Amino acid sequence: MTQLDIQAVRSQFPQLSPSPTGTVFLDNPGGTQVPQSVIDAVAGYYKTANANVGGAFRTSQRTVKTLSTARAAVAALLNAPDPDNIIFGNNMTSLTFHVARSIGDTIRPGDEIVVTDLDHDANVAPWLDLTKQGAVIRVARFDEKDCTLPADAVCSLINENTRLVAVTHASNAVGTIPDVQSVIRCAHSHGALVYVDAVQYVPHRLCDVQALDCDFLACSSYKFFGPHAGILYARPAALSRFSPHKVRPAPNQAPQCWETGTQNHEGIAGTYAAIKYIASIGDQAPNDVDMFTLRKRIEKSMDAVAHYESVLTARLIAGLQEIDGVKIFGITDPSRFSERLCTVAFTWNRYSPAEIASRLGENGICCWSGNYYAMRLMESLGLQETGGAVRVGPVHYNTFEEIERFLDTLRSFAPGCK
């Protein structure tokens, strides 16, 4: 396993100050910082290729190459069989609403869609909209004791009327990693499609759409060290069942027919740079390489990332457990950390979540409070009306010193508290 040189990693991010009093970014579940290479790629696009596609001139042709190269890199990141399986969009939420609208055109009264209480609302609300076409929504409940989503809780709702199952690959609120593969097998055995939200999963674990055998998988590059851009993997056999809503002159072939309007070209250029950065973690930065080699480097990098982050998570959770009155939501047993990411949600009976986040922010520590759009989860836990929970989420560029600074700062809010 490759060991991470954390200082070498951090040196690539201009936002990560070497000063002990610099900003500590634990708000990563809401969006990560970006390395200089990504910033350079976005600026470089504007300098050398800024144009729309379809022109016979040089900058337009460079933009076409930028998009095709980035599409191939995303295919390598997700292990998609073909770059044409990759669709770009504004963000995961917009892409999901876009696809849901087309699926809705085929919905008939009595068709069923399964969603979960563990999911971000971006993988719930678009499917709830289909009740207007007569769809019946069935909701899989998570286990409130440890915020896990047993596969049986989802599979028990799937039957011959199920058209689609929407499930998260990892919770954006409590870090749980459900057994998505079992859910997909069950759904496919009943002829249903599966739409996977992998926004939180991709920055922390190696993603493989072929191993999952999913029909759709969405993620966002600003969660994995890139710009604000959305990504959707779609299996051609699944996508071909539906017609995109598009302007008439737009291409009729996938993936372009699903990419409504002019894309965020500079963001897509930055997305390619972000994937190259991921491939370089723990190794020298790759130049333009073939997609097979890029995938192999990504596999090596993500192995190192997963190991390092699991150790960070252990210290973060252990430190929170040492503070009187703190309640952590989700898996806390270190022997089960393979079932969770480093995203941690907690409450403290001394302060509201908003007060904690505000005071941490005053001390240079970034984190979130509230429901982070995991509204059903917060309602189920009885937290919605009391301000939700505090969420902290380290990534591979965070250090043990930053975790200790966070814990020390938290303890300082209540002198004498363990």
- Tokens of residue 102, six digits: 């087309």
Superfamily designation of domain 6-31+289-412: Aspartate Aminotransferase, domain 1 (3.90.1150.10)
How many whole angstroms separate alpha carbon 229 and alpha carbon 200? 14
Domain map (residue ranges) of the chain: 6-31+289-412, 40-279
pLDDT digits (tens, 9 = 90+) for 172-211: 999 999 999 999 999 999 999 999 999 999 999 999 999 9
Instruction: Name the nearest CA neighbour of 174 among 334, 392, 360.
Output: 392
- Tokens of residue 244, six digits: 């995109």
Would you call the peptide bond into 255 cis, given omega within 30 degrees of 0 as the criterion? yes
pTM of the model: 0.96
- Burial call 327-343: b when 16+ CB within 10 Å, e when fewer: ebbbbbeeeebebbbbb
How many whole angstroms separate alpha carbon 409 and alpha carbon 360? 7
Question: For residue 21, what pLDDT is reported?
Answer: 73
Question: For residue 290, what pLDDT is reported?
Answer: 81
What contacts 50, CB < 8 A, 6 or more positions away?
Answer: 59, 63, 265, 266
Instruction: Name the nearest CA neighbour of 375 among 96, 136, 122, 101.
Output: 122
**CATH code for 40-279?**
3.40.640.10
pLDDT digits (tens, 9 = 90+) for 218-246: 999 999 999 999 999 999 999 999 999 99
CB 178 within 8 A of CB 148: yes
Residue with token string 């302007």? 247
pLDDT digits (tens, 9 = 90+) for 145-163: 999 999 999 999 999 999 9
- Tokens of residue 25, six digits: 């970014």
- Tokens of residue 261, six digits: 């309007």
- Tokens of residue 263, six digits: 């894309």
How wide is the angle at C-alpha 407 spanned by C-alphas 403 and 3, nearest 5°? 15
* Domains 6-31+289-412 and 40-279 equal at CATH topology level: no
- CA count, 13 A, side-chain hemisphere, 393: 29
pLDDT digits (tens, 9 = 90+) for 60-84: 999 999 999 999 999 999 999 999 9
Percent of the chain having pLDDT more than 90? 92
Question: For residue 3, what pLDDT is reported?
Answer: 76
How many whole angstroms separate alpha carbon 8 and alpha carbon 34? 14
Label the pairing between strands 389-392 and 162-168. unpaired
Written in H, E and C, the secondary structure of the chain is CCCCCHHHHHCCCCCCCCCCCCCEECEHHHCCCCCHHHHHHHHHHHHHCCCCCCCCCHHHHHHHHHHHHHHHHHHHHHCCCCHHHEEEECCHHHHHHHHHHHHHCCCCCCCEEEEECCCCHHHCHHHHHHHHHCCEEEEECCECCCCECCHHHHHCCCCCCEEEEEEECCCCCCCECCCHHHHHHHHHHCCCEEEEECCCCCCCCCCCHHHHCCCEEEEEHHHCCCCCCEEEEECHHHHCCCCCCCCCCCCCCCCHHHCCCCCCHHHHHHHHHHHHHHHHCCCCCCCCCCHHHHHHHHHHHHHHHHHHHHHHHHHHHHHHHCCCCEEEECCCCHHHHHHECCCEEEEECCECHHHHHHHHHHCCEECEEECCCCHHHHHHCCCHHHCEEEEEECCCCCCHHHHHHHHHHHHHCCCCCC
Angle at which helices 36-48 and 265-280 pack, to 10 degrees? 140
What contacts 65, CB < 8 A, 6 or more positions away?
Answer: none
Question: For residue 170, what pLDDT is reported?
Answer: 98
Question: For residue 89, what pLDDT is reported?
Answer: 97
C-alpha 348: how far from chain center: 27
How many whole angstroms separate alpha carbon 208 and alpha carbon 202? 10
Question: For residue 284, what pLDDT is reported?
Answer: 59
Instruction: Name the nearest CA neighbour of 272 among 285, 261, 260, 284.
Output: 285
- Tokens of residue 267, six digits: 């963001």
Instruction: Name the nearest CA neighbour of 187 among 211, 160, 210, 169.
Output: 160
**One pLDDT digit (tens) per residue for the chain, 418 residues:** 457 899 999 999 999 977 767 899 999 999 999 999 999 999 999 999 999 999 999 999 999 999 999 999 999 999 999 999 999 999 999 999 999 999 999 999 999 999 999 999 999 999 999 999 999 999 999 999 999 999 999 999 999 999 999 999 999 999 999 999 999 999 999 999 999 999 999 999 999 999 999 999 999 999 999 999 999 999 999 999 999 999 999 999 999 999 999 999 999 999 999 999 999 996 655 566 688 889 999 999 999 999 999 999 999 999 999 999 999 999 999 999 999 999 999 999 999 999 999 999 999 999 999 999 999 999 999 999 999 999 999 999 999 999 999 999 999 998 766 6
How many whole angstroms separate alpha carbon 130 and alpha carbon 118? 20
